[in-house]
Copies of this chain bind each other. A is one copy, B any other.
Amino acid sequence: MAVFRRVAIIGVGLIGASLALALRKYGLADELRGSGRREANLRAALQRGIIDSYSLTHSEAVEGADLVVLAAPVGSFRRIIEGIRSSLERGVIVTDVGSVKGALVRELEGLMPEGVSFVGGHPIAGSDRSGIGSASADLFAGARCILTPTEKTPEDALRKVRELWEAVGAEVSILSPEEHDLVFALVSHVPHLIAYALVNTVADLNPEYIHYAGKGFRDTTRVALSSPELWRDICITNRGNIFHILERFQENLAAMVEALKEGSPEELEDLFEKAQGLRARLA
């Protein structure tokens, strides 16, 4: 197992801070450096021992690093890489924890200087929490982490990033950047949009009605507690797949509305049973 000399965590939020804590816990990094926009947050991360030092300038943070982890909102990745690329030395591995891959991975890969590898990564952890206050070295234990290598990804860099995630307890899966984005539009991005839209429907009718919500509504809309900034970037970046999945969702909803309009209990029950059966595979 490779141990990194100096790891730069760009964006010290829930995921970035949890990864820093995990790298330290498992002895995978000699030195941890953070960078980000809000100094108060970086200072708090330093005081809690999450990072060893910080910089408000990303290019300063990556100096001398052999691993750079992008853990800021995905909408900022391109700008960050443009700002740090001249500070990246040969042999450095750049990876990320963003929820969108696809064209973004191809683009970032193209921005890497000669001899610098990019490996796209997406740990499935976090849900509605955010910030270093919820960070934990055990966040990735038992979680899945998707890596999205392309034909340009060096095998050695992929292996090192894979070993890192496995060392912090994650189960690694490999998907192409494109399949990743289709799958996560389906199981994550569209569900977030739907949850936000459902809560806004309550706001439209009468915000006080929220107090009649039971456990079902709480569960269904829990992800609407997620960071608007983070999810704004994710949805905009993956909008093509989101539109595609939303169309399929609308078809499924329309089939139920049709059964309701016809007052056809058997058809409606069949549709519900189909869903219940598949969902039970997650139980």
Contacts A194-B253, A265-B236, A268-B235; is A146 near B222 (CB within 8 Å)?
A: no
Residues in A234-283 with C-beta less than 8 Å from chain B? 235-236, 239, 242-243, 245-246, 248-249, 251-253, 255-257, 260-261, 263, 265, 268-269, 271-276, 278-283
Please tell me which one of the listed residues B125, B205, B276 contacts residue A248 in the complex, with CB atoms under 8 A apart.
B205
Bound-state CA distance A187–B275 (Å) is 20
Is B200 in contact with A188, judged by CB distance below 8 angstroms?
no
Copies in the complex: 2
Most buried by B among A193, A198, A260, A261: A198
Is A256 in contact with B201, judged by CB distance below 8 angstroms?
no
Number of interface residues of A (CB under 8 A): 88
Bound-state CA distance A276–B242 (Å) is 20
Contacts A186-B201, A187-B213, A216-B223; is A257 near B243 (CB within 8 Å)?
A: yes
By a CB distance below 8 angstroms, the chain B residues around A260 are: 235-236, 239, 242-243
A151, CB-defined interface residue at 8 Å: no
A196, CB-defined interface residue at 8 Å: yes
Stretch at the interface among A45-53, A84-92, A108-116, A225-233: A225-233
Chain A residues in contact with chain B, CB under 8 A? 75, 124-125, 127-128, 143-144, 146, 173, 182-184, 186-188, 190-205, 207, 209-226, 228-229, 231-233, 235-236, 239, 242-243, 245-246, 248-249, 251-253, 255-257, 260-261, 263, 265, 268-269, 271-276, 278-283
Q: List 9 A-B contacts (CB under 8 A).
A: A183-B209, A186-B205, A188-B217, A203-B275, A205-B248, A210-B279, A226-B276, A228-B269, A228-B273
